[in-house]
Amino acid sequence: MAMSRGSAFLRVFGSALAAVTLIASGCARPRPAASGAGCNVLLITLDTVRADHIGAYGYRKIETPNLDRLASEGVRFADAGSPVPLTLPSHATILSGLLPPHHGVRNNGAERFPEDPATLATQLAAAGYRTGAFIGAFVLDRRFGLVRGFDRYDDDIPRERVADLDAERPGRVVTDRAVAWLSEKSEKPFFAWVHLYDAHAPYTPPEPFRALYADRPYDGEIAEVDAQVGRLLAELDRQGLADRTIVAVVGDHGEELGEHGELTHGLLVYEPSLHVPLLVRAPGVLPPGWVVETPVSLVDLAPTLAGLVERPFTATAASPLDGRDLSKRLRERREPGAQDLYAESLYGTSFGWSPVFALRQGEIKYISAPRPELYDLRHDPGESQNLEGQRQGEGKELATRVAALAKSGAKSAAPAAMDAEARARLLSLGYLAGANLGGAKGVQGKDPKDAVVLFRAFEEAHGALVAGRFADARSQYERLVAADPSNPVFVGQLAETCRRAGDFERAVALYRQSVAIAPEDRDARYNLAVTLQEAGRDEEAMEALTAAIRLDPGRPEAHNALGIALALRGDLEGAREQLVEVVELDPHNSRAFNNLGNVLRDLKRPEEAQRAYRRAVELAPDYADPLNGLGTLEVQRDNPAGAIPYFDRALSIAPGLHEARLNRAIAEELAGNRGAAIAAYRDFLARSAGDRQLVEQRRVAQQLLARLERSGSDRGVS
């Protein structure tokens, strides 16, 4: 929505009027040397998959033949823990061997992975591997920094259709891309990371799993993910690479499925969110069918995989590794040494609630929260009996250590550049781009476990909003705001719902309330500004935008909105400066390139305008507006016949883009196609009837049509 006005504001037609090599790759040494040097590495991350919903982990209500096969051919880690139940921070850990306080990515969408630490990708790229990543959801978009070290980072998730909020792509598509890349011939070994997002809510498995798991769609999604793992394994088999490829499959976090009051994941750090599958198959290197019982953390995975291919991480003083290289012990079939497992979630801080931190020592788990918890997982795996009051000594020691760990992050990662679209897309995934209102800085808010009833209602309201059920979403958010009027997320989401439903007045009032609650919240201020803009309150919008940019100068969409406001006032040069800023901050933003093209066109700089429009089309081939822009440029340079295919393409993508229809009629007329022009004007007038934004254009079209019709009858032609 924020961008729609930006893309529309200049769409007016006014200016238009005037082989073999594979054998060489892989492990260099002969078998049965227990070395993986030179082996390929295939890392598959399964989003939102609980360990205890997989056959190999003892779950009897599902069939996961491919994961089970990996378990029988490789090592299964019975007790692997995620350090954070959030996708981006967890993947940052999986790839880097650093805990969240040390890589600094604590929330989805809030920070960018830093430039300096080594990752599995940078490490293996430096060792001569070809590297490719295939991403299933926008939450891991390249802008969040995990792109470093990858030759190919395929995060091509549809970005332009904001309205349907389609922010993920099916694992089948991700796997197609990965299989195509794997089949490219190369003499180098490969490192491929494949991210399968399907098991994330909402659960909508495709057939045959939809029917097979009709009553358990979450399991159906896991069965689908298993099938995709099977396709990847089959591709290795087909190429004869299975013996020379180390395959690791890991969950980034689990899912509560209603346990502890949470439907999905993110807020709490109980075991259903943290206990994940971890399987590593390394033929000839690791013993097949072995089960490691000792608890391990996902932070150990990257150093271990690097160790298995004998390219160990070189930790620096600036970034000492948190994870351990377990490869030597595993090769010798020895259990890893015992280590404490750390976990955290700062997600609650987005709601003004407290963060939570956990430290697990063997079977004793301590959770640091306003009301601390202590569990004995051996006797109480469901974490239902808080022993904190009874065993204070143990609690105190763990409390001290977890507090030190949580605060030990020297760096805080750079805030990620996020545009409105990015936010919309993250939101459609069920994530709020965290404002980290208090977080590690120690602000004490409500204990998340006491907020879980509200959180669950929020999850449901959010589901309604994402599904476009605005009336439902609105009444649910109204109740949440009534229950917790100072919660910036609830107020903000109610405002967002009103805005999407077209009630700008209420939305503006709520955003003003949101700004009053959290004056430092950059989102609230920005949202207020663009809602004012959408409501047509341009002067107030300008004021609010200036305030938003003062608070957050690196935010691309604020510059975009300011560019629009300036263009509306006729300050084209000022608008151009703002839009150039946007595309520098966010070079994948096709809408900003389109807006820039519009401004450059009106500044009579057609070559630059053409470059900007073309970039927009490259980024988003099914985005109609820049095609319309390219057509108008052709008309301006006296090539009306060359313009028509652009308008046709624009209209085939967006039949409701009536400006393109009018532009097309004008081009037909200028090209001398009188009959086609008359038909096109009539078509425009018929289809745009009642469109209040096109009143002026319709008036002009009527005049042009009348003149054409007259000119025909003058000459006696009809």
Contacts with Zn ion, residue ranges (CB under 5 A): 47, 87, 252
**CB-nearer residue toward Zn ion: 40 or 87:** 87
* Rounded Cα distance, 296 and 568, in Å: 58
Which tokens sit at 295?
């608890």
The least distance separating Zn ion from the CB of residue 680, rounded to whole angstroms, comes to: 49
Count of beta carbons in the 10 Å neighbourhood of residue 291: 12
**CB-nearer residue toward Zn ion: 54 or 650:** 54
**CB-nearer residue toward Zn ion: 90 or 436:** 90
Indicate the helix (H) or strand (E) that contains 76: strand 75-77
Q: Which of 323, 26, 23, 330 lies closest to 191, judged by CA?
A: 26
The least distance separating Zn ion from the CB of residue 239, rounded to whole angstroms, comes to: 30
**CB-nearer residue toward Zn ion: 252 or 659:** 252
The least distance separating Zn ion from the CB of residue 273, rounded to whole angstroms, comes to: 10
**CB-nearer residue toward Zn ion: 87 or 319:** 87
The least distance separating Zn ion from the CB of residue 637, rounded to whole angstroms, comes to: 49
**CB-nearer residue toward Zn ion: 434 or 629:** 434
**CB-nearer residue toward Zn ion: 87 or 632:** 87
Count of beta carbons in the 10 Å neighbourhood of residue 121: 25
Contact present, 419 and 619 (Cβ < 8 Å): no
Alpha helices in 385-444 (DSSP H): 392-406, 420-428
**CB-nearer residue toward Zn ion: 252 or 262:** 252
The least distance separating Zn ion from the CB of residue 422, rounded to whole angstroms, comes to: 17
Q: Which of 504, 525, 371 lies closest to 448, judged by CA?
A: 371
Pairing of the two strands 278-281 and 40-46: unpaired
The least distance separating Zn ion from the CB of residue 252, rounded to whole angstroms, comes to: 4
**CB-nearer residue toward Zn ion: 265 or 311:** 265
The least distance separating Zn ion from the CB of residue 45, rounded to whole angstroms, comes to: 8
Contact present, 681 and 711 (Cβ < 8 Å): no
Contact present, 259 and 42 (Cβ < 8 Å): no
The least distance separating Zn ion from the CB of residue 49, rounded to whole angstroms, comes to: 9
The least distance separating Zn ion from the CB of residue 108, rounded to whole angstroms, comes to: 9
The least distance separating Zn ion from the CB of residue 251, rounded to whole angstroms, comes to: 8
- Residues in the chain, total: 718
**CB-nearer residue toward Zn ion: 87 or 578:** 87
**CB-nearer residue toward Zn ion: 80 or 518:** 80
- Burial state string for 497-527 with b = 16 or more CB within 10 A and e = fewer than 16: bbbbbebbebbbebbbbbbebbeebbbbbbb
Q: Which of 665, 660, 106, 588 lies closest to 355, judged by CA?
A: 106
Contact present, 367 and 373 (Cβ < 8 Å): yes
The least distance separating Zn ion from the CB of residue 430, rounded to whole angstroms, comes to: 10
**CB-nearer residue toward Zn ion: 87 or 245:** 87
Contact present, 130 and 193 (Cβ < 8 Å): no
* Rounded Cα distance, 663 and 683, in Å: 12
Which tokens sit at 666?
């004008």
**CB-nearer residue toward Zn ion: 251 or 626:** 251
Q: Which residue is nearest to Zn ion (CB)?
A: 87
The least distance separating Zn ion from the CB of residue 94, rounded to whole angstroms, comes to: 11
**CB-nearer residue toward Zn ion: 47 or 224:** 47
The least distance separating Zn ion from the CB of residue 47, rounded to whole angstroms, comes to: 4
Q: Report the Cα 162 to chain-centroid distance in Å.
A: 13
* Rounded Cα distance, 276 and 272, in Å: 8
The least distance separating Zn ion from the CB of residue 24, rounded to whole angstroms, comes to: 37
* Rounded Cα distance, 498 and 516, in Å: 18
The CA-atom distances, in angstroms, between 304 and each of 242, 280, 610, 681 are: 19, 10, 50, 67
Q: Which of 22, 73, 70 lies closest to 43, judged by CA?
A: 70
The set of long-range contacts for 26-33, using a CB threshold of 8 Å and a minimum separation of 24, is 26/189, 26/241, 26/243, 26/244, 26/245, 27/243, 27/244, 27/284, 31/243, 31/284, 32/284, 33/284
The least distance separating Zn ion from the CB of residue 409, rounded to whole angstroms, comes to: 21
* Rounded Cα distance, 296 and 200, in Å: 24
- CB neighbour list of residue 626: distance below 8 Å, 6 or more residues apart: 590, 593, 594, 597, 612, 613, 614, 616, 617
Q: Which of 125, 277, 133 lies closest to 194, judged by CA?
A: 133
* Rounded Cα distance, 33 and 599, in Å: 64
Longest Cα separation, the chain: 103
The least distance separating Zn ion from the CB of residue 103, rounded to whole angstroms, comes to: 16
**CB-nearer residue toward Zn ion: 256 or 625:** 256
**CB-nearer residue toward Zn ion: 47 or 256:** 47
User: Angle, to 10 degrees, between the axis of helix 640-653 and the axis of helix 658-670?
Assistant: 160
The least distance separating Zn ion from the CB of residue 254, rounded to whole angstroms, comes to: 9
The least distance separating Zn ion from the CB of residue 48, rounded to whole angstroms, comes to: 5
Contact present, 506 and 475 (Cβ < 8 Å): no
**CB-nearer residue toward Zn ion: 251 or 631:** 251
**CB-nearer residue toward Zn ion: 47 or 557:** 47
515 by DSSP, 3-state: which?
helix
Sign of the Cα torsion 462, 463, 464, 465 reads positive
Pairing of the two strands 364-368 and 278-281: unpaired
- CB neighbour list of residue 501: distance below 8 Å, 6 or more residues apart: 470, 471, 474
